[in-house]
Amino acid sequence: MHMKMMLVPIQAPNRITRRDRYLIELRRMGLDPGGIGWSDGLDRDALQELEMIVAWVRRWRATGGDRLRMARQGFFQPPVAPAADPENDWRRFVRWLRGSKGCA
């Protein structure tokens, strides 16, 4: 089942949560974290997974998609769920990024 990401309504005006900032950043790149298995939620685990996805996307862009440079910088296995084998996860992550605008 594929769920659409939704921003959480906020009480205070002009206050955007970290979760919302990450989702907005990914949306601007045309990326839906659900495409690599992220389960939307308001709990700490969902936020940590989202932070990891954003870190991977930023590193991918900073290195020009150089897998060896990313590995040297500590980015070994992409944040896809469920994790299979590393090669398959990399292919899935790259396909997800290339399906976006301005990322790959």
For range 60-87, the mean pLDDT? 92
> Do the beta carbons of residue 51 and residue 39 sit within 8 Å?
no
Q: Tell me, what amino acid is at 64? A: G
Judge whether 85 lies within some domain. yes
Judge whether 62 lies within some domain. yes
Q: Which two tokens stand for residue 57?
A: 């996307």
Mean of pLDDT over the chain: 85
- Spell out the alpha helix ranges (H) of the chain: 18-28, 44-63, 67-72, 86-98
d(CA 67, CA 91): 11
Look at residue 71 in the predicted model and tell me its pLDDT.
Answer: 94
Judge whether 77 lies within some domain. yes
Quick one: pLDDT band at residue 75, thresholds 50, 70, 90?
very high
Quick one: pLDDT band at residue 49, thresholds 50, 70, 90?
very high
Highest mean pLDDT among 1-5, 50-54, 95-99: 50-54
Task: Please name which of 78, 83, 86, 84 lies closest in space to residue 54, comparing C-alpha atoms.
Answer: 78
Domain that holds residue 74: 38-98
> Do the beta carbons of residue 92 and residue 78 sit within 8 Å?
yes
pLDDT at 66 over 90: yes
Whole-prediction pTM? 0.79
Domain count, the chain: 1
